[in-house]
Amino acid sequence: MGFDEFGLISFVPFTKVSDFVDYLRDGKLKGTHCKKCGAVYFPPRPECVKCWAPESEVEWMDFSGKGTLLTYTTIHAAPTGFENKVPYTIGVVDLAEGGRLLAMIENTPDNEDDIELNAEVEVEPKMVDDNRLIYVVKLI
């Protein structure tokens, strides 16, 4: 039994923002914003969920990558695909323009207690050794 048992499967919402991956690959952090109500989305959304504006009212926008570290944790038992990276630290970042993301903290201090909550950070897309795109956070 596969997903085809559920009937027609539409991936339209994902394909409407598929340029997102191309932007990341080019080192650009982009999200979307609604021209009608001004709502900002990161990760990007194809339509506005605040005012229900259609795709034609939503456009791409640049994000600076600047943000604030809300929380973090260090992973010691990694999920499949990250076993060779342990231990590593991930953080939740509120982006300056709006939106939130989860990313690996690249320049983690030797003592985890030296990481300050609400610290200013910079986020950038990065290609890792196995050709996967991730976000990395740099503590400022």
Q: What is the DSSP letter of 77?
A: S
Q: Do 78 and 135 fall within a single domain?
A: yes
The enclosing domain of 130 has a CATH number of 2.40.50
The distance in angstroms from the start CA to the end CA of the chain is: 50
Give pTM, 2 decimals: 0.81
Tell me, what's the pLDDT at 3? 45
Domain limit, last residue, from 62, 79, 105: 62
Strands (DSSP E) contained in 42-87 are 58-62, 66-75
Residue 121, in any domain of the structure: yes
Helix, strand, coil percentages (3-state) for the chain, rounded to 5, are 15, 40, 45
Give the span between the Cα atoms of 110 and 122, in whole angstroms.
19
pLDDT in 10s for each residue of the chain, 140 residues: 444 554 555 555 556 778 888 898 899 999 999 999 999 999 999 999 999 999 999 999 999 999 999 999 999 998 887 788 889 899 999 999 999 999 999 888 777 778 999 999 999 998 877 777 887 899 88
Give the span between the Cα atoms of 83 and 57, in whole angstroms.
42
Tell me, what's the pLDDT at 13? 54
DSSP-derived 3-state class of residue 14:
helix
Give the span between the Cα atoms of 137 and 94, in whole angstroms.
11
Give the span between the Cα atoms of 75 and 61, in whole angstroms.
32
Residue 4, in any domain of the structure: no
Q: Do 55 and 77 fall within a single domain?
A: no
Other beta carbons within 10 Å of 33? 22
Domain limit, last residue, from 62, 78, 98: 62
Domain count, the chain: 2
The enclosing domain of 19 has a CATH number of 2.20.28
| The total number of residues written for the chain in this structure | 140
Closest CA to 83 of 94, 91, 75: 75
